[in-house]
Chain A
Amino acid sequence: MISLKLVKQLLSGFAVLLLMSTIVYASMPASAQSSNGDLVIYAYDSFASWGLKNATIPEFEQMYGVHVEVRTYGDSGQVLGKAIMEKKDPQADVIIGVDNSLLQKALDNDVFEPYTPENMSSIPKELDFDPSHHVVPFDYGYVALVYNKSQVSQPPQTFDDLIKPEWKGKIILEDPRTSSTGMIFLLWSIAANDNHFNSSYWTKLSKNSLTITSGWDSAYEMFTAGEAPIVVSYATDPAYWVEYYNSTNYGASFLKVNGKYAGYLQIEGIGVVKGAKHRELAERFVDFAISPQFQKKIPLTNWMFPVNSNAALPDCFRYAVRPETNLTIPAKILAEKHDEWLQEWQSAISSGGSSNSPSLPAAWILLAILAAIFVTGERRKR
């Protein structure tokens, strides 16, 4: 005998499933079928979140009658990581955001196909950071300490100032492994120290900072939300605050090295992925990225300087600061030491890293005790 109750329950269960799958189907169609664009671009978050994407991509789509898909994966380090992982079967055609600190890693892993755009001559020689043109520059800027003037009257002046107690918990840094901004800041500190990584300095700095975020975006979000009055960001930030909020409440400052305000230049590049499925279009996009129509959008969205000398700067860029001298680490040393510095950095900042932390011995003793309990418990069972 089939009970009516059971039938009802089965039916209602079925109805719920049906309803759910309908909802799901209705919201899924484009995802379930592959929606690959005619051109796939990998970029860092702020390319999309700060507006350069919307200011330029539609124009390119119209020019060539194609659909461009931009995928963002955190900060530049993560984007390049994704590309390296997919090297054997590249998903991206163009990668935006490989800068002078990541260049060597990109070259070592053979991610890019060399390509020299036709309009390359409009870029000043000194910005052409990859002579082999696996990557060509599209914007540049100085990494700087950005601070809230209402909370900070006199920003830190030197790298040593940063580890003073008065700045405890007031600075937000970025992880150089994931964030290119963080990487440039790390290189800046190394360049200021005669190209040597100072482990004890970084242990102190990491303890003195509020936090080390994985990307510039989240660091800046915390800064604007008032979590800390100082953030490692860009020298153009004051211009942003003037333009959008008519506020001169935010300053940017460099750090003194040998008595002079010294900065470290970041040059961001764009390149065609080796083995790209849409190579032709990818090359057109690189051309487009250094053309004046793309370049003139950079200042007010990406808040960096355009590399194309023909692109005019907006008025607010008067507020962007420039350093007295520019530090660089020679490409050869950078290529040699890059990975080593990152490893040393990781050891220096990891919270068990300092000798006075109880965590390491305590953890091992604990693990031993628990393993002992585990073993004796096992024995008792038998």
Chain B
Amino acid sequence: MNRRSLFLIPLIFLLAFFAYPVVSLLYLGLWNGGATLSYLKEAFEQYRHVIGFTVYQAFLSSILTLCIGLPGAYIMGNYAFRGKSLIKAISTVPFILPSIIVVLGFLALFGNRGLINHLLEPFGIHIRILYSLTAILLAHAFYNFPIVIRMVGSAWENMDSSYEDAAASLGAGPWKRFLYVTLPLLAPSMVSAFTLVFAYCFMSFAIVLILGGAQYATIEVEIYVLATVLIQPHMASALSIIQIAISLIFIWTYTHFGRNGASGIRRMKKIRGFSPASVSVLVYSAIISFFILGPMLSVVYYSFVTGWGGSFTLHWYRLLFSEGASSVIGIRPIRAIGNSLFFAFLTVVITVPLALLSSFWAKEHGKWVPLIMVSVAVSSVTLGWAYIGAFLKTGIYESWPIIALAHSIIAFPLVFRSVYNSAVSMDDDLRNAARSLGAGPIRAFLYAELPQIRPGMLVGATFAFAISLGEFGATLLLYRPEYTTMPIAIYRILGTRAFGSAAAMSVVLMLLAGISFLLIDRIGGSQERSAF
């Protein structure tokens, strides 16, 4: 049997749990006894401000993200200094952090009674940035600037310095060199980073839902309201179609621009002692460390005290195990931790084998790779809504498998990417040699191929685990109380009156996400950069 025909398994999976829901979405949004554009037209009319605002905020967020990330990319691409790997590691943290934690961190840090306002109180200063466009932009920048550092930084790192040297010997000054040599060489990676960040900000949900409020609702939030409150399936679907269409533009731009394979050797300037360069590296590192660690540490702080300046307490953690808090979220909080682990585990078990089988096939059919990954253009809220539309009348609606399936579809593109990268660089001769020496297909796979693909699989597995742990949008539409996950529990607790409880739950979630982050950093190395 041809091994590539095993691709049928992931194919059927994707058709059943991705293509079918999306088709049912298209049907709801474009069909009314016959093909119609009237729902789309109506959605455009009623929600043109929302659509405009969504694009607008994503654009501003991406610009801000670039502004914050580019100095970091410059530092990473040009300097060697002590602690570089630490800064690199810290700057990866937000990417793995569940969005609900980002929200909580921002509330704890910038809230009216947050850490910063308490610290500024003696000076009579009071800042208000929550529930505004500023808050959304800052949170998005915080969440995404590591992408810029990673993508642009690595392009910079691999840029051959001889071009700049040549320009210099021809008399070009530093600015001219930057403008005419460095910038054009960096442009593809900057465009890639920009479009990717744009797509993420465009589809962002938890941050906009909680830090924005109704005035700053985006397409995601409106789909959520249309689907779950107003119960207008056609309008929700029409808006979802608009969401997918706009995302597709950006994701296509991303895949077509990205990946300049050019790699050369770049001299790193060493930084030692006191110099303008070392001071700016230090200042930048300090700023991003504060930016990243500040919100997280504030959450940790609030999880251990009775209130601002209050005494140390383990009360909030004890509540996690008590029956009391269950009245809010429907189950004991500790069970939400179990649920999250359960779904994360299932997501790994589902996605990694599927990604492996797809990779074997895609290795021979490279041009289909974008299609395999097309689900990245579907936001989690849209996917959740598509699942409701497709499975409402079936037995899996409101069951636990539907949540695991949604998580798997959301995680699949990144998992596939990680495994695929390993599979592509795999040396097929080893397997052929093993086969010709008499090893059966399973044995050849285990000893000739698995060791080569394993890093990609492990990174993929960790991504699957982390994405499932943090998933919010689709789960919010699909869960029922007994399947509450940690992000949902945090959101629900936040909706009542217990910041401490939400903070304690967040610390647990952060620890779990942190463990998967460490795994990625350990195993991944250069692997995961290409997985973005």
Using CB atoms and an 8 Å cutoff, list the residues of chain A in contact with chain B: 3, 6, 20-21, 23-24, 26-28, 30-32, 35, 45-46, 48-49, 51, 53-54, 70-72, 74, 77-78, 81-82, 84-86, 88-89, 91, 109, 169, 175, 177-178, 206-207, 210-215, 217-218, 220-221, 224-228, 342-343, 346-347, 349-353, 358-364, 366-367, 370-371, 373-374, 377-378, 381
Hey, which chain B residues are within 8 Å of A6, CB to CB? 446-447, 451
Contact A27 B250 (CB under 8 A): no
The docked-state distance in angstroms from the alpha carbon of A360 to that of B44 is 12
Chain B, interface SS category: helix
Contact A88 B393 (CB under 8 A): yes
Q: Give residues of chain B (111-126) contacting chain A, Cβ–Cβ below 8 Å.
A: 111-113
Hey, which chain B residues are within 8 Å of A367, CB to CB? 55, 246
Contact B253 A45 (CB under 8 A): no
The docked-state distance in angstroms from the alpha carbon of A350 to that of B239 is 16
User: Is B275 an interface position by the 8 A CB rule?
Assistant: no
Hey, which chain B residues are within 8 Å of A362, CB to CB? 52, 56, 59
Chain A, interface SS category: helix
Hey, which chain A residues are within 8 Å of B331, CB to CB? 31
The docked-state distance in angstroms from the alpha carbon of A88 to that of B394 is 11
Q: Give residues of chain B (125-159) contacting chain A, Cβ–Cβ below 8 Å.
A: 128, 130-131, 133
Q: Give residues of chain B (494-509) contacting chain A, Cβ–Cβ below 8 Å.
A: 494-497, 499
Hey, which chain A residues are within 8 Å of B481, CB to CB? 71-72
Number of A-B contacts (CB under 8 A): 200
Contact A31 B483 (CB under 8 A): yes
Given contacts A20-B341, A27-B335, A359-B56, contact A353 B49 (CB under 8 A): yes
Please, which residue of chain A has its CB at the minimum distance from the CB of B502? Answer: A221
Given contacts A21-B345, A28-B342, contact A218 B494 (CB under 8 A): yes
User: Is B48 an interface position by the 8 A CB rule?
Assistant: yes
The docked-state distance in angstroms from the alpha carbon of A306 to that of B147 is 56
Contact A214 B214 (CB under 8 A): yes
Given contacts A45-B495, A360-B49, contact A169 B56 (CB under 8 A): no
Hey, which chain B residues are within 8 Å of A53, CB to CB? 327
Using CB atoms and an 8 Å cutoff, list the residues of chain B in contact with chain A: 46, 48-57, 59, 111-113, 128, 130-131, 133, 191, 209, 213-217, 225, 228-231, 246, 249-250, 252-253, 256-257, 327-328, 330-331, 334-335, 337-339, 341-342, 345, 388, 392-393, 398, 400, 446-447, 451, 480-483, 492, 494-497, 499
Hey, which chain A residues are within 8 Å of B338, CB to CB? 23-24, 26-28, 31
Given contacts A72-B481, A352-B49, A363-B56, contact A212 B341 (CB under 8 A): no
Given contacts A213-B213, A378-B256, contact A363 B229 (CB under 8 A): no
Q: How far is the CB of B114 from chain A (nearest CB, A)?
A: 10
Hey, which chain B residues are within 8 Å of A360, CB to CB? 48-49, 52-53, 56
Q: How far is the CB of B56 from chain A (nearest CB, A)?
A: 4
The docked-state distance in angstroms from the alpha carbon of A24 to that of B344 is 10
Please, which residue of chain A has its CB at the minimum distance from the CB of B229? Answer: A81
Hey, which chain B residues are within 8 Å of A363, CB to CB? 51-56, 59
Contact B496 A77 (CB under 8 A): no
Contact A178 B213 (CB under 8 A): no
Question: When A and B form their complex, which 8 residue pairs have the shortest distance between CB atoms, in order from nearest?
Answer: A27-B338, A352-B49, A211-B131, A211-B213, A212-B214, A363-B55, A360-B52, A359-B56
Hey, which chain B residues are within 8 Å of A46, CB to CB? 496
Hey, which chain B residues are within 8 Å of A74, CB to CB? 495
The docked-state distance in angstroms from the alpha carbon of A366 to that of B494 is 36
Contact B228 A85 (CB under 8 A): yes
Q: For the A-B complex with A30-B335, A31-B339, A377-B257 known, give 15 more contacts whose Cβ atoms are closer than 8 Å.
A: A28-B338, A45-B492, A45-B495, A71-B480, A72-B330, A214-B495, A227-B111, A343-B46, A349-B215, A351-B215, A352-B53, A359-B52, A362-B56, A378-B252, A378-B256
Hey, which chain A residues are within 8 Å of B113, CB to CB? 225-227
The docked-state distance in angstroms from the alpha carbon of A284 to that of B446 is 63
Contact B214 A49 (CB under 8 A): no
Q: List 28 A-B contacts (CB under 8 A).
A: A6-B451, A24-B338, A27-B338, A27-B339, A35-B482, A49-B327, A49-B496, A53-B327, A70-B330, A72-B330, A85-B388, A109-B231, A207-B215, A211-B131, A214-B495, A218-B494, A221-B495, A224-B497, A227-B113, A343-B46, A350-B50, A351-B53, A360-B49, A360-B52, A363-B55, A367-B246, A370-B249, A373-B191
